[in-house]
């Protein structure tokens, strides 16, 4: 039987790339979450599987070169999520885990490595690097910086090549060689007309000559090298520079004179060679195949944390993050929004028009998250009994509250313990399971909080990481899923609970609950112990209400199916001009 890497390499499927850079992205995600690892990684892996179903080959680029979570295994070699989905680990930033707030220090090295990797694949396929993947979908701001920088580099390639062809014979060969070598530092792709004009001016006539005289000489050389009549070139270029110089402040800012002249001359050269100009314009556009899915935005997180102490806000680096996001939005072609708030902020904060935004919230895999019959839950009841020390019969006869996510202060698991302590005083048949890891300072603080409260003894349990085979069943086994998180891009665990037929209590900072199921979930103010406790008790006391809400949740989540939404996403990119093949062979 062929190995996955052989199937991937031998496949003629069209290829796409996903970039998810921070945390522990990979084939075997830490179950229950890990530092900077959770909903986004599940989203990317689910999207990749859906693209596989649509007959694409998918490469997921993630940061590597450091040990995988709680192990000594260094993430270097490719790993395969499916036969046609591979993870490629991009080194950079050293050999230790980096918080997402600190990941910027790794990006320059990572971009160099990633560019070289894709160029090697392009050479093997005898195509340009931008033709290796039909589109590049980046996730979060750090991945987006990598995506935009790749586009910039490849546009520099195209522009420097076009300039070399236009000016060959008009300027010395060593000048064109130097331009190609320095193309990324010079940002040639951002202003090809300027560089065209600059090279003509700087490499013709003595430096003491006037701009007009130098341009007149340069125009003659360009005409001779191109084999077209001099009068066709000299007159228009001379007139262009005369107009540009006349608009400049020669006395106080001679550099502006040169910049205006270079812009004008370059634009006129492109007008004189329309076929080459159109080819360059088309190529620069075709190279940009980047679509960004931010999952959250610094402006939204800043708003959520506006009342927090400065010591908390400082550590989250919102100002730096917002600056990165503004650069990305100014240089990205298409966007995918995972929530209503992100869609609105795209328009209000970044000026992105609605026709460039695809609404793509996290979806659910119904083969994993769905209601289950009692006999399907037997092994998971035994797992919970082992973790809690309670008997299976006690668990079956009681009610289970469940939450799982990474051990992070923004998830407010401490609030859940406080709220449950109030519930436990009113009901003796209720138990709380809090999943996730690692056993960091947050975990230790929760353990101390639980042990210090007599109402939580034997009633609240920290499970740590939950084995994968029990994740889906645990969502279905629970009576109520509770999320007090105050920093959610969407709330995938809340969606998974809804799809599993479990009642939902969530903070009003959980987009899924607020936007999709506000009438069926119990949505309570973030940070309110009293309101969380009251909502839980209400659902426990009123079985009819709880079952009615569950039916509503199940009905609402039917539209959030990965394969169908991914096909619509790909079709939208194709409509926007991306060179996408839904069925067929490689572009290269």
For 524-556, what is each residue's pLDDT tens digit? 999 999 999 999 999 999 999 999 999 999 999
Residue reference for tokens 């609605």: 354
482: which strand partners? Answer: 505
Mean pLDDT, rounded, for 142-168: 97
Indicate the SS3 state at residue 542.
coil
- pLDDT value, residue 247: 54
pLDDT in tens, 112-123: 999 999 999 999
- pLDDT value, residue 309: 83
DSSP state of 490: S
Q: Are 468 and 487 in contact, with CB atoms under 8 Å apart?
A: no
More confident of the two residues 8 and 587 = 8
**Nearest-10 Cα torsion for 562, 567, 568, 572:** 130
Is pLDDT of 169 > 60?
A: yes
- pLDDT value, residue 275: 95
pTM of the model: 0.78
- pLDDT value, residue 587: 47
Task: Identify the band that residue 283 occupies on the pLDDT scale cut at 50, 70 and 90.
Answer: very high
Is pLDDT of 571 > 60?
A: yes
Residue reference for tokens 């039916």: 551
Show me where the domains of the chain are located: 4-135+291-359, 183-286, 374-560
Q: Which three-class secondary structure string do you get for 524-539?
A: ECCCCHHHHHHHHHHH
d(CA 39, CA 28): 14
d(CA 282, CA 265): 21
- pLDDT value, residue 2: 63
Helices (H), 460-561: 468-477, 492-499, 511-515, 529-541, 543-556
- pLDDT value, residue 6: 79
| Class (C level, CATH) for 374-560 | alpha beta
φ/ψ of residue 249, rounded to 5: -90, 90
Average pLDDT taken over every residue of the chain = 92
- pLDDT value, residue 163: 97
d(CA 383, CA 253): 76
**Using CB atoms within 10 A of its CB, is residue 213 exposed (0-12), middle (13-18) or buried (19+)?**
middle
> What number of H helices and E strands is found in the chain?
25, 14
Q: What does the DSSP assignment read for 9-56?
A: HH--S-EEEEEE-SS--SSSPPTT-BTTBSHHHHHHHHHHHHHHHTT-
Of 212, 184, 189, nearest to 200 by C-alpha is 212
Is pLDDT of 325 > 60?
A: yes
Is pLDDT of 139 > 90?
A: yes
pLDDT in tens, 12-63: 999 999 999 999 999 988 755 678 888 889 899 999 999 999 999 999 999 9
Is pLDDT of 559 > 60?
A: yes
Q: What does the DSSP assignment read for 282-306?
A: HHHHHH--EEEE-SS-HHHHHHHTT
E strand or H helix at 82: strand 79-82
pLDDT in tens, 212-258: 888 888 899 999 998 889 989 989 999 988 888 775 444 556 778 88
d(CA 516, CA 557): 8
pLDDT in tens, 392-407: 999 999 999 999 998 9
Please give the CATH architecture assigned to the domain spanning 4-135+291-359. Answer: 3-Layer(aba) Sandwich (3.40)
- pLDDT value, residue 92: 96
d(CA 498, CA 477): 12
Of 36, 144, 13, 146, nearest to 90 by C-alpha is 146
Q: Do domains 4-135+291-359 and 374-560 have the same CATH topology?
A: yes
Measured CA distances, 440 to 353, 436, 437, 445, 518 (Å): 43, 11, 7, 9, 33
Is pLDDT of 106 > 80?
A: yes
Tokens of 568: 């619509």
d(CA 536, CA 504): 9
d(CA 482, CA 460): 13
């Amino acid at each position: 039987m062929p190995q996955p890497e052989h199937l991937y390499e031998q496949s003629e499927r069209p290829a796409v790339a996903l970039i998810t850079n921070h945390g522990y992205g990979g084939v075997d995600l830490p179950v229950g979450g890990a530092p900077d690892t959770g909903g986004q990684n599940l989203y990317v892996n689910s999207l990749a599987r859906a693209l596989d179903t649509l007959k694409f080959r998918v490469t997921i680029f993630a940061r590597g070169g450091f040990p995988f979570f709680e192990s000594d295994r260094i993430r270097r070699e490719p790993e395969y999520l499916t036969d046609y989905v591979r993870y490629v680990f991009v080194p950079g930033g050293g050999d230790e885990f980096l918080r997402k707030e600190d990941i910027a220090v790794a990006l320059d090295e990572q971009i160099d490595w990633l560019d070289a990797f894709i160029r090697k694949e392009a050479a093997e396929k005898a195509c340009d690097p931008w033709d290796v993947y039909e589109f590049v979908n980046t996730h979060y701001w750090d991945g987006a910086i990598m995506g935009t920088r790749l586009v910039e580099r490849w546009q520099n390639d195209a522009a420097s090549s076009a300039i070399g062809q236009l000016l060959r014979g008009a300027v010395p060969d060593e000048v064109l060689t130097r331009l190609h070598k320095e193309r990324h530092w010079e940002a040639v792709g951002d202003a090809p007309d300027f560089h065209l004009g600059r090279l003509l001016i700087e490499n013709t006539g003595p430096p003491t000559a006037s701009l007009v005289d130098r341009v007149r000489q340069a125009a003659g050389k360009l005409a001779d090298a191109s084999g077209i009549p001099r009068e066709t070139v000299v007159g228009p270029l001379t007139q262009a520079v005369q107009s540009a110089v006349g608009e400049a402040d020669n006395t106080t800012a001679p550099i502006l004179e040169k910049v205006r002249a270079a812009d004008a001359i370059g634009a006129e050269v492109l007008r004189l060679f329309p076929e080459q100009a159109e080819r360059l314009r088309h190529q620069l556009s075709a190279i940009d195949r980047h679509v960004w899915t931010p999952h959250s935005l610094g402006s939204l997180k800043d708003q959520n944390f506006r009342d927090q102490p400065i010591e908390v806000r400082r550590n989250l680096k919102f100002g730096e993050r917002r600056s990165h996001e503004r650069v990305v939005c100014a240089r990205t072609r298409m966007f995918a929004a995972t929530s209503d708030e992100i869609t609105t902020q795209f328009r209000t904060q970044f000026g992105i028009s609605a026709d460039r935004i695809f609404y793509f919230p996290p979806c659910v895999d119904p083969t994993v998250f769905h209601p289950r019959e009692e006999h399907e839950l037997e092994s998971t009841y035994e797992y919970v009994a082992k973790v809690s020390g309670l008997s299976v019969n006690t668990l079956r006869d009681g009610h289970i509250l469940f939450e799982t996510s990474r051990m992070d202060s923004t998830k407010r698991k401490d609030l859940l313990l406080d709220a449950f302590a109030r519930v436990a005083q009113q009901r003796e048949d209720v138990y709380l399971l809090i999943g996730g890891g690692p056993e960091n300072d947050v975990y230790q603080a929760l353990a101390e909080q639980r042990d210090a409260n007599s109402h939580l003894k034997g009633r609240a349990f920290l499970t740590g990481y939950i084995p994968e085979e029990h994740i889906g069943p645990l969502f279905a086994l629970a009576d109520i899923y509770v999320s007090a998180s105050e920093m959610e891009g969407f709330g995938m665990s809340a969606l998974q609970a809804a799809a599993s037929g479990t009642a939902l209590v969530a903070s009003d900072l959980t987009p899924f609950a607020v936007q999709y199921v506000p009438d069926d979930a119990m949505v309570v103010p973030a940070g309110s112990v009293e309101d969380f406790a009251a909502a839980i008790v209400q659902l426990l006391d009123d079985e009819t209400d709880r079952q009615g809400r569950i039916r509503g949740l199940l009905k609402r989540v039917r539209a959030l199916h990965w394969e169908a939404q991914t096909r619509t996403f790909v079709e939208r990119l194709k409509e926007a001009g991306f060179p996408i093949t839904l069925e067929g062979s490689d572009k290269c």
